[in-house]
């Protein structure tokens, strides 16, 4: 990401100022009170909010617009403009045009006085350590992704098995009713509405219709052969067959207990509704109910086998994950030892008379960065043990330490998205060789990143980057800050 153009409209002492930034090193110079640090604050707070006391005297609102080049984003839209407006009632308006789903703030690196805590954030420090050590998280990401996929599949099967167990309990509690439903289904019925509230429900309508058709055909045949010599013998055969059909049907209806009560029929209907609710599907027929029951045992066996296989696969993944996490932790410990030596040399060159570096490595819940909870500990005074940066460093020390950390990790980078570094009064208290060494390292940092810094050393920085010089302009009623020179 690169910052291209900053427009400050009625932002405190800036009435209407446009600042153009270049890739690489940008230096904002000027005397005290010319608003140098305000420019950095306007950039940093753009992604949070502005206070209403940032509003100048010329309008009833302040507005900041920042044009950004997304040089590390695969997109057709290479540039966008970010705006924030604050009114005197403290109402905020924020917009990005064209709209982008992009971590703008994540590409800004600055110390806490501008509202950011990136240097203090252990996650940021861990990123820099991984960058320095050339440590890739690709294998970890793939294993965690596979673990989540298998775990989700396992949970899905376990939920399905739980549903099948509830279904099995439901059929067991309603065993007698389900047997009645099976008899009705086997007798040719598939819709309870054909039975509820109707007579002759023990005989399927299709069978009655077929029997009536056969009997009608018998009568027609009988009438056609009334004068046949064997008529009496034929009548005897017909009567015998008729008696056989009657006895067979009577025996079937008695044995099958098809004469169900209204309550039993409604109980079957309620069973169908309960099964539908459990399976979250609409079961409409007795055939579907019987199919669900018949497939229950095989379904449970299949789910049990699937659960066993997924648990075995999950155990294998967990073992492999442990190995990856251990290797990652070992690499980080070794990387910090190397980083500590390089940081130490840089800090000495930046004018630190004394420093002591160490790190806190603790275990945390595993996430996309591993299981290491890492934080740099430092002391710049003898007799004081190393502590987190937020507890020991002043503003100038923080900025110089950030340069050292960024340069150290930058030298070992391969592919990494460019960042924007904001430094305020980074060269405070430095001169001679220490200041020159700081400059050389900032040049190294700015080869892949954009650096914007504020300095009082106008003469030193002139011609060493894109120099932006500010001055106060005193009007008759109000003082404002303006750019008197930009050279790069």
pLDDT value for 396 = 66
Does residue 24 share a domain with residue 151?
no
Rounded to an integer, the average pLDDT of 420-426 is: 81
* pLDDT, the chain, mean: 80
376, β-bridge pairs: 359
Give the number of other CB atoms < 10 A from CB of residue 158: 15
In a domain, 43, yes or no: yes
pLDDT value for 137 = 93
Tens digit of each residue's pLDDT (9 = 90 or more) over 398-410 = 777 777 877 777 6
Does residue 63 share a domain with residue 165?
no
Does residue 201 share a domain with residue 85?
no
Does residue 167 share a domain with residue 76?
no
In a domain, 48, yes or no: yes
370-379 and 356-367 beta bridge pairing: antiparallel
Question: Residue 469: which CATH number?
Answer: 3.40.50.300
In a domain, 303, yes or no: yes
3-state helix, strand, coil in the chain (%, to 5): 50, 20, 30
Does residue 170 share a domain with residue 263?
yes
Does residue 262 share a domain with residue 150?
yes
Tens digit of each residue's pLDDT (9 = 90 or more) over 141-194 = 999 999 999 999 999 999 999 999 999 999 999 998 888 888 888 877 666 666
Rounded to an integer, the average pLDDT of 211-230 is: 66
> 383 pLDDT exceeds 70?
yes
Domain boundary among 307, 334, 364: 307
How much is the pTM?
0.62
pLDDT value for 370 = 94
Does residue 294 share a domain with residue 216?
yes
**What is the separation, in whole angstroms, between the first and last Cα of the chain?**
19
Domain boundary among 241, 276, 307: 307
Domain count, the chain: 2
Does residue 298 share a domain with residue 223?
yes
Domain boundary among 252, 280, 307: 307
Does residue 235 share a domain with residue 155?
yes
In a domain, 255, yes or no: yes
H or E, element range at 373: strand 370-379
Distance between CA atoms of residues 391 and 380, nearest Å: 11
Tens digit of each residue's pLDDT (9 = 90 or more) over 305-352 = 999 999 999 999 999 999 999 999 999 999 999 989 888 888 888 888
Rounded to an integer, the average pLDDT of 91-96 is: 87
479-487 and 466-474 beta bridge pairing: antiparallel
Q: Where residue 217 falls among pLDDT bands split at 50, 70, 90? A: confident
pLDDT value for 412 = 45
Structure tokens at 42: 């306007």
Does residue 156 share a domain with residue 302?
yes
Alpha helices in 187-295, H assignment, sequence order: 205-224, 231-256, 262-279, 286-294
Tens digit of each residue's pLDDT (9 = 90 or more) over 226-239 = 655 566 666 666 67
pLDDT value for 230 = 60
Tens digit of each residue's pLDDT (9 = 90 or more) over 23-47 = 888 999 888 888 888 898 888 888 7
108-109 and 420-424 beta bridge pairing: parallel
Please say whether the beta carbons of 10 and 62 come within 8 A.
yes
> 10 pLDDT exceeds 80?
yes
Does residue 277 share a domain with residue 178?
yes
Distance between CA atoms of residues 232 and 123, nearest Å: 106
Q: Where residue 253 falls among pLDDT bands split at 50, 70, 90? A: very low
In a domain, 240, yes or no: yes
Does residue 179 share a domain with residue 71?
no
The domain of 213 spans 145-307
420-424 and 450-455 beta bridge pairing: parallel
């Amino acid at each position: 990401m690169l910052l291209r153009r900053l427009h400050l409209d009625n932002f405190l002492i800036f009435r209407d100022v446009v600042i153009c930034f270049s890739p690489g090193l940008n230096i904002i110079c000027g005397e005290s009170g010319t608003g140098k640090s305000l420019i950095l604050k306007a950039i940093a707070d753009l992604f949070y909010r502005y206070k209403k006391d940032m509003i100048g005297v010329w309008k009833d609102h302040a507005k900041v617009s920042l044009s950004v080049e997304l040089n590390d984003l695969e997109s057709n839209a290479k540039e966008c403009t970010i705006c924030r407006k604050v009114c005197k009632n403290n109402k905020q308006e924020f917009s990005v045009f064209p709209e982008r789903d992009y971590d703008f703030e994540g590409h800004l690196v600055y110390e806490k006085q501008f509202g950011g805590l990136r240097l203090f954030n252990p996650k940021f420090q861990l990123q820099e350590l991984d960058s320095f050590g050339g440590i890739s998280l690709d294998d970890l990401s793939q294993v965690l992704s596979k673990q989540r996929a298998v775990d989700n599949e396992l949970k899905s099967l376990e939920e399905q098995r739980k549903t099948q167990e509830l279904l099995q309990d439901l059929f067991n509690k309603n065993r007698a009713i389900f047997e009645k439903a099976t008899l009705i289904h086997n007798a040719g019925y598939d819709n309870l509405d054909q039975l509820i509230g109707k007579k002759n429900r023990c005989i399927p309508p299709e069978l009655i219709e077929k029997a009536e058709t056969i009997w009608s055909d018998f009568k027609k045949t009988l009438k056609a052969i009334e004068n046949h010599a064997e008529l009496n013998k034929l009548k005897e055969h017909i009567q015998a067959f008729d008696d056989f059909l009657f006895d067979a049907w009577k025996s079937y209806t008695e044995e099958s207990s098809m004469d169900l009560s209204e309550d039993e029929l409604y109980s079957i209907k309620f069973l169908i509704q309960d099964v539908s609710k459990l399976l979250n599907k609409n079961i409409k027929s007795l055939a579907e109910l019987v199919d669900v029951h018949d497939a229950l045992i095989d379904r449970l066996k299949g789910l049990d086998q699937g659960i066993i296989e997924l648990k075995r696969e999950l155990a294998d993944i967990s073992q492999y994950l442990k190995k990856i996490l251990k290797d990652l932790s070992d690499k980080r410990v070794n990387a910090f030892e190397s980083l500590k030596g390089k940081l130490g040399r840089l800090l000495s060159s930046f004018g630190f008379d004394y420093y002591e570096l160490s790190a806190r490595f603790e275990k945390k819940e595993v996430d996309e960065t591993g299981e290491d909870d890492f934080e740099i500990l430092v002391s710049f005074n003898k007799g004081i043990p190393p502590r987190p940066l937020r507890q020991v460093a002043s503003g100038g020390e923080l900025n110089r330490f950030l340069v050292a950390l960024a340069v150290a990790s930058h030298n070992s980078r391969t592919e990494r998205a460019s960042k924007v570094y904001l430094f305020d009064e980074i060269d405070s208290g430095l001169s001679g060789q220490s200041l020159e060494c700081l400059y050389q390292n900032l040049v190294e940092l700015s080869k892949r990143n954009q650096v914007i810094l504020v300095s009082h050393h106008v003469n030193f920085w002139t011609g060493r980057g894109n120099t932006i010089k500010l001055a106060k302009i005193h009007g008759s009623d109000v003082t404002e800050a303006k750019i008197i020179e930009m050279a790069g």
